[in-house]
Chain A
Amino acid sequence: MTERFTSRGFFGKRRDAGTDRADRIPPGQYLTDGFPVLSAGPTPQIPLETWEFTIDGLVAEPMRWSWEQFQSLPSRDWTVDISCVTKWTKLDTRWHGVSVDDLLAAVEIDPRAGFLTAQSYGGYTTNLPLTDVVNNQAFVAWQYDGAPLEPPHGGPARLVVPHLYFWKSAKWVRGLRLMEKDQPGFWESLGYHIRGDPWREERYSGD
């Protein structure tokens, strides 16, 4: 083995969290004040007139909302810390949206359902156990920092699951499909961890 090369004076764009906030930064993460845009494809432009949100799969009767109907659901502000698997963590992000609990309350869930796949405009998917999206752990947001969520950050609406790595927070979300088995999504099927808990540093398959 040769000794690993290091670049003199290179630290990256990382910032020290400071002692008062250090306990909010998961292992291997660094703090950012920006909001990096990550994408795997072109940003879909979805007119609100045609936007819809669906819950289907293992439910007695699929449920569908138009944009107008979705906006009239009970919604609230959420302030959460988010961690991206590309190693940045952003504290105190402010969102407005509806709890996934309130969405699931609109359908009768088949007792066999233990998992779901979040599906997005543009084809992205990510998988989650139901236990990670209930009890106000997850929400669908259409506002960020007091303004309509911009398309590069997932607007019109984005799933937010703040306690898992941010790839689970599907941008441009258009529905949840309930399933009996956990089925790996876009990144989970390509080496990323099936669950993605940043506090356990579950980045890659096998971590």
Chain B
Amino acid sequence: MPEPLAWQIATVTGVRPESAEVKSFTLALPAWRPHRAGQHYDVRLTAEDGYQAQRSYSIGSPPSQTGEVEVTIERIPDGEVSPYFHDVLRVGDQVEVRGPIGGYFVWEPALGGPLLLVAGGSGVVPLMAMLRERSAAGDDTPTALLYSSRTLDDVIYREEIDALAVAKDGVGAFQTLTRSQPPDWTGYARRIDREMLSEVLASIGPQPLAYICGPTLLVEAAANGLVELGVPPARVRTERFGPTT
């Protein structure tokens, strides 16, 4: 048995496009351990001369998927690690990872709700793991997802989110498209603001357990908005991704 957080060498067993700039990578792990929804893996790339680059990527797959994990990665044009995943890595390649990590930005049914999930861009990944966990457990915690994307083509897990909205199992899905909207768009068409948060809150109740994940400035805006609306800061958990490009 390797140590809990030792680096291990995973094998890429699947690559699937999720949206214009986002792909999911399935990694088979020799020392797989069950994760909690919301956790991430660290990925480390090493060049021949020893140069290394390290990043963290959220796990999108639920813990019930054993032996492997799925990380969903947005291609950052100016990036160093995400372009390697998108442009170089193929099925059968190996990649060094350690995890699962992050015991704070996690949700499981025992933590209760109501559950408010706020995502920007690829920040939806760990939140989708929570939704999948909720569904796999047959849990009925009242839940709302507010998801901000630039355009419809940028929406990750589009079909799965659309399915959530019609499943009527207590999950409300709210979406906003900030850059452009198709003619028949019925969702929001602006950046997340207090009024939007207030409307989403109204669907699940005023004291939710909130998880916000996305670009740093979006997370700041959403977290401040929720606190201004009376959500106790201790019930707002954040995972900032850094700058948008």
Is there any pair of Cβ atoms, one from A and one from B, under 8 angstroms apart in the complex? yes
Residues of chain A touching chain B, judged by Cβ–Cβ distance below 8 Å, are 4-14, 34, 87
List chain B residues, Cβ under 8 A from A13: 80
List chain B residues, Cβ under 8 A from A4: 46, 50
B93/A8 in contact, CB under 8 A: yes
User: How many residues does chain B have at the interface if contact means C-beta atoms less than 8 Å apart?
Assistant: 16
Q: For the complex formed, measure the closest distance between the CB of A8 and the CB atoms of chain B, giving whole angstroms.
A: 6
A10/B46 in contact, CB under 8 A: yes
B95 within 8 A of A: yes
In the bound assembly, the distance between CA atoms of A25 and B80 in angstroms comes to 21
A14/B51 in contact, CB under 8 A: yes
Residues of chain B touching chain A, judged by Cβ–Cβ distance below 8 Å, are 9, 45-48, 50-51, 53, 78, 80, 84, 88, 93-96
B80/A7 in contact, CB under 8 A: no
B94/A5 in contact, CB under 8 A: yes
A12/B96 in contact, CB under 8 A: no
23 contacts between A and B (CB under 8 A): A5-B96, A6-B48, A7-B45, A7-B46, A7-B84, A7-B94, A7-B95, A8-B88, A8-B93, A9-B88, A10-B45, A10-B46, A10-B47, A10-B84, A11-B47, A11-B51, A12-B47, A12-B51, A12-B80, A13-B80, A14-B51, A34-B78, A87-B51
In the bound assembly, the distance between CA atoms of A171 and B78 in angstroms comes to 24
19 A-B pairs besides A10-B84, A12-B80, A34-B78 with CB distance below 8 A are A4-B46, A4-B50, A5-B9, A5-B46, A6-B47, A6-B48, A7-B46, A7-B84, A7-B94, A7-B95, A9-B84, A9-B88, A10-B45, A10-B47, A10-B53, A10-B88, A12-B47, A12-B51, A13-B80
List chain B residues, Cβ under 8 A from A34: 78
Q: Is the interface of A mostly helix, strand, loop or mixed?
A: loop
Q: For the complex formed, measure the closest distance between the CB of B112 and the CB atoms of chain A, giving whole angstroms.
A: 34
List chain A residues, Cβ under 8 A from B53: 10, 12
Instruction: List the 4 closest pairs (A to B, CB-CB), nearest first.
Output: A7-B45, A9-B88, A10-B45, A13-B80
Closest Cβ neighbor of A9 among chain B residues = B88
List chain B residues, Cβ under 8 A from A9: 84, 88
In the bound assembly, the distance between CA atoms of A56 and B47 in angstroms comes to 47
Q: For the complex formed, measure the closest distance between the CB of B175 and the CB atoms of chain A, giving whole angstroms.
A: 32
List chain A residues, Cβ under 8 A from B95: 7
List chain A residues, Cβ under 8 A from B94: 5, 7-8
Q: For the complex formed, measure the closest distance between the CB of A34 and the CB atoms of chain B, giving whole angstroms.
A: 7
Q: For the complex formed, measure the closest distance between the CB of A32 and the CB atoms of chain B, giving whole angstroms.
A: 11
Q: For the complex formed, measure the closest distance between the CB of B228 and the CB atoms of chain A, giving whole angstroms.
A: 21
List chain B residues, Cβ under 8 A from A12: 45, 47, 51, 53, 80
In the bound assembly, the distance between CA atoms of A87 and B80 in angstroms comes to 14
Q: For the complex formed, measure the closest distance between the CB of A137 and the CB atoms of chain B, giving whole angstroms.
A: 30
In the bound assembly, the distance between CA atoms of A13 and B88 in angstroms comes to 13
B9/A7 in contact, CB under 8 A: no
Closest Cβ neighbor of A4 among chain B residues = B46
In the bound assembly, the distance between CA atoms of A10 and B79 in angstroms comes to 13
